[in-house]
Amino acid sequence: MLAAVLLAVVLTSLLLASVNTYAAMKIIRTKELKFEFWSLPWFPQSDKAAEVIAKQLEEVGIKLELRRLESSVMYPKIENFEFQAYALATSQSPNPMGMVNSFHSSYCKPGIGSFWCHADPEVDELIDKVKTTTDKEILRKTLWKIQEKLAYESGFIPVYLTQSVKVIRAEWKNYTVMSGGLVEAYDIWSMLYMYKSDKPEENVFKIAFPSDILTLNPFMTVDLRSIWVINLIYDPLVRLDKDLNVVPWLAVSWEVSEDGKVYTFKLRKDVKWHDGEPFTADDVVFTFTEGIKQETSRFLGLKDIVERVEKVDDYTVRFVLKYPYPFFLVDLASGYYYIVPKHLVEGKDLKKWNNENPVGTGPFKFVKRVEGEYIVLEKNHEFWIKGVPKITKVIVKVIPDAQSRFLAIKTGEVDTERYDTPITLVEQAKKDPSLKVVKAPGIWLVYIAFNTYNFFYDPKVFEAIHYAINRTGIIEKANGGYGYPLYTILNEYWHKDLAAPLKFEYNPEKAKKILEEAGWVDIDGDGIREYVGPTLTPTTTTPTPTPTPSPTATATATPTPTAPSATAPVATVTKVVEETVVKTVVSTVEVIRTMFSTVTREVTSVVTDWTPTAVLSVVLLVIGIAIGYVVRRR
């Protein structure tokens, strides 16, 4: 009997749980279109955009109350869905799954690090289809469909992609311009072919970093500065060319099985480690097997994809995947998976390995690093592409201050800098003939997002916002015109034809119309739209004293028998008075209630976050008083 009950309980909860995870987005409406709008004060590209967006949306009756918060306060709250709306930027990579996956309903949970939520079984199905299809055409069509659905239905509104603007000394020639910006991590080509003089010894490339790299361990890289250095010392299996196509690197060629689950790579035979040992399949198998097995941060993402990695012969490696993942090659090329030498690394705890003296196969050899000051690399003369790199020496200098970095470039102390040159300095650089400004699609997608998890979800409002924001105007004000308007979660600068050709022209009138049709009308004249329901128009919501209220005119009057309607004016007047009184009372109660709930919410949020501090303070205070009292007594 008990067992049966337990079983029933378990089954119901399982059923409920499954229903819960697969429920589509529920419409949640606030009373009016007013949102607290968070922004990071130290990220100008999104913070300035937030200011402009708030202004533009105010014109169509949507009020975004800007509030600046530090990331340490803001991110945890966003992850727990304790927010209303915010403006931020997210980084882009050539692998579209980074963006697309985040819209799977499994990310629609508080506390798992997800920043936005969209739970729609249809989108889930499409994402699963994308993850497993092998057909290019189906892949593109499905991705387009996902983008279209999300553009019209999700609370994630892309605004623009930043343009990377970098200053480099004009004597450097033959560099490559790639998405992400000049000499960024995907761009090995500039570092191979760039030169400034025919005399090799003069080709010393000096680059300024804002701060030191965090690690030389390719398994635990989190910052792009470390990756930049590691990228020159180590090689991956495949790389991206300047149009972001996957091209052979340590792997010469590859074959993909019919079902898309087995990738067989042929490796280069002429590659040597910097210490002279030959590079073989063992190194590749070791790197991937151990990287995944030891759960290193860089390789963790492969855990769900790669079943196993095996050696076929000394120069052939086979990857067996758990499912046919169409972006596996792109992921290998863009995921910063660098091959390390088995003979030197075997037996090490990869999470703690600090790799003081890196040995790789890449175009540059490690020479010296003085922490917090500089790093020196020199040309690998045995590099397996003959005749490159043309640069003989790379010096990474740490110069924390943006102005000092710029001045260093101007005076020739360094040649360029890691990360973009501030837009405001670019104007100065344009006037200087010894400097060149190089532009490329940047990595930051600036967007605004609404809390569709538990605060607000009305797709019509999001659609209206798409029309109400003037993206080119935002780029002009927020980033000096350096940017590309974005309308969907993918974009042509990073994902080429996978980006859906969808566009929302700036049209505030259309936005207003959409809002009105969706039932959002400003009825109290404060410039913020309230929800009145799609069938009503503003005139019918204000009660007009009609002598004979017909049941069709006011729905509220119907349940009671219409006897008073016969005795006309007096009854109507009293009724109006009554209504007014009731309305006033109700609205007063409502105001008090909202005030109260706001206060409680704020207080509880303070208390939950500050309990330890508060308790500690009180304890200290009591101790202090006690000591003071004892001392006084004596």
Binding region for other proteins (CB under 8 A):
36, 41-42, 44, 47-48, 51-52, 55, 65-70, 73, 402-403, 406, 422-425, 428, 477-478, 480, 602, 605-606, 609-610, 617, 620-621, 624-625, 628-629, 632
Q: Is the torsion defined by CA of 129, 132, 137, 139 positive or negative?
A: positive
**Structure tokens of 263?**
């990738």
Place of tokens 């995947």: 321
Q: For 113-272, where are the E strands, in sequence order?
A: 156-169, 204-209, 238-240, 246-248, 251-256, 262-267
Question: Residue 203 or residue 451: which is nearer to other proteins going by CB?
Answer: 451
Question: Residue 590 or residue 602: which is nearer to other proteins going by CB?
Answer: 602
Least Å distance, CB 597 to other proteins, is 14
The residue type at 570: V
Least Å distance, CB 184 to other proteins, is 21
Question: Residue 550 or residue 594: which is nearer to other proteins going by CB?
Answer: 594
Question: Residue 517 or residue 609: which is nearer to other proteins going by CB?
Answer: 609
Neighbours of 213 (CB within 10 A): 21
What are the contacts of 412-415 at 24+ separation with CB within 8 A? 412/169, 413/206, 414/206, 414/207, 414/208, 415/168, 415/169, 415/172, 415/205, 415/206, 415/207
Strand 34-39, strand 306-313: pairing: unpaired
Question: Residue 370 or residue 622: which is nearer to other proteins going by CB?
Answer: 622
Question: Residue 32 or residue 120: which is nearer to other proteins going by CB?
Answer: 32
Least Å distance, CB 421 to other proteins, is 10
- Find out whether 266 and 251 touch, Cβ atoms under 8 Å: yes
Please name every residue paired with 430 in a beta bridge, in sequence order, or none if there are none: none
**Structure tokens of 461?**
């409002």
Least Å distance, CB 629 to other proteins, is 6
- Find out whether 132 and 321 touch, Cβ atoms under 8 Å: no
Least Å distance, CB 397 to other proteins, is 18
Least Å distance, CB 435 to other proteins, is 16
Closest by Cα among 488, 529, 591 to 35: 529
- Find out whether 180 and 224 touch, Cβ atoms under 8 Å: no
Question: Residue 55 or residue 242: which is nearer to other proteins going by CB?
Answer: 55
CA distance 34 to 594: 14
Question: Residue 410 or residue 496: which is nearer to other proteins going by CB?
Answer: 410
Neighbours of 205 (CB within 10 A): 26
The count of residues in the chain is 634
Give 309-345 as a DSSP string.
EEEEETTEEEEEESS--TTHHHHHHHTT-----HHHH
Question: Residue 202 or residue 602: which is nearer to other proteins going by CB?
Answer: 602
Least Å distance, CB 402 to other proteins, is 6
Closest by Cα among 301, 233, 250, 307 to 95: 301
Least Å distance, CB 628 to other proteins, is 5
Closest by Cα among 313, 287, 282 to 218: 287
Question: Residue 111 or residue 629: which is nearer to other proteins going by CB?
Answer: 629
Least Å distance, CB 520 to other proteins, is 23
Closest by Cα among 155, 156, 164 to 185: 164
Which residues have C-beta within 8 Å of that of residue 272, sequence separation ≥ 6? 278, 279, 361, 382, 384
Three-class DSSP category at 433: coil
Least Å distance, CB 52 to other proteins, is 8
CA 372 from centre of chain: 29
CA distance 46 to 445: 9
Q: Is the torsion defined by CA of 383, 182, 98, 146 positive or negative?
A: negative
Least Å distance, CB 502 to other proteins, is 28
Least Å distance, CB 423 to other proteins, is 8
Question: Residue 262 or residue 528: which is nearer to other proteins going by CB?
Answer: 528
CA distance 94 to 180: 10
Question: Residue 78 or residue 237: which is nearer to other proteins going by CB?
Answer: 78
Least Å distance, CB 436 to other proteins, is 20
Question: Residue 406 or residue 467: which is nearer to other proteins going by CB?
Answer: 406
DSSP letter (8 states) at residue 37: E
Question: Residue 551 or residue 628: which is nearer to other proteins going by CB?
Answer: 628
- Find out whether 225 and 214 touch, Cβ atoms under 8 Å: yes
**Structure tokens of 557?**
């009057």
Least Å distance, CB 613 to other proteins, is 8
